[in-house]
């Protein structure tokens, strides 16, 4: 079993909040394709990173969407990540997969 996580920003680079309908559409798309979704959106997570060691630290407020699937269709996820990157105006949007064991 695999856990797929999508980290979506709350704001674009100009600090404009994305409309709720964008998140609802992602949730609907994933629920339809995978039969369910978990969304962590009540209290946004914070992402901090440096693009290079000499840069100042960057910050993003994010929501996390998760789905579980038996297999990972890497090509589909790569295309979906690219589409989300465009939709949410991100240079790099994180979509990650972890192998999990249901206990």
CB atoms within 10 A of CB 19: 9
pLDDT at 99: 96
pLDDT at 48: 47
Query: Higher model confidence: residue 49 or residue 7?
Result: 7
| Model confidence band, residue 13 (pLDDT cutoffs 50, 70, 90) | confident
pLDDT digits (tens, 9 = 90+) for 14-47: 888 999 999 999 999 999 999 999 988 765 555 5
Task: Please state the pTM of the whole predicted model.
Answer: 0.79
Burial class (CB in 10 A: 0-12, 13-18, 19+), 81: middle
pLDDT digits (tens, 9 = 90+) for 79-100: 999 999 999 998 889 999 999 9
**Got the DSSP string for 14-75?**
T-PBPPHHHHHHHHHHHHHHHS--EEEEEEEEEEEE-SSTTSPPEEEEEEEEEEEESS--HH
Q: Give the gyration radius of the chain's Cα atoms.
A: 14
Domains of the chain: 2-96 (3.30.70.120)
């Amino acid at each position: 079993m695999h856990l797929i996580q999508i980290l979506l920003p709350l704001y674009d680079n100009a600090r404009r909040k994305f409309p709720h309908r964008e998140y609802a559409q992602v949730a609907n798309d994933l629920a339809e394709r995978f039969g369910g979704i978990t969304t962590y959106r009540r209290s946004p997570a914070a992402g901090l990173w440096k693009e290079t060691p000499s840069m100042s630290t960057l910050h993003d407020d994010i929501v996390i969407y998760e789905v579980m699937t038996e297999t990972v269709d890497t090509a589909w996820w790569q295309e979906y990540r690219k589409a989300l990157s465009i939709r949410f105006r991100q240079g790099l949007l994180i979509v990650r997969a972890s192998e999990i064991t249901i206990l």
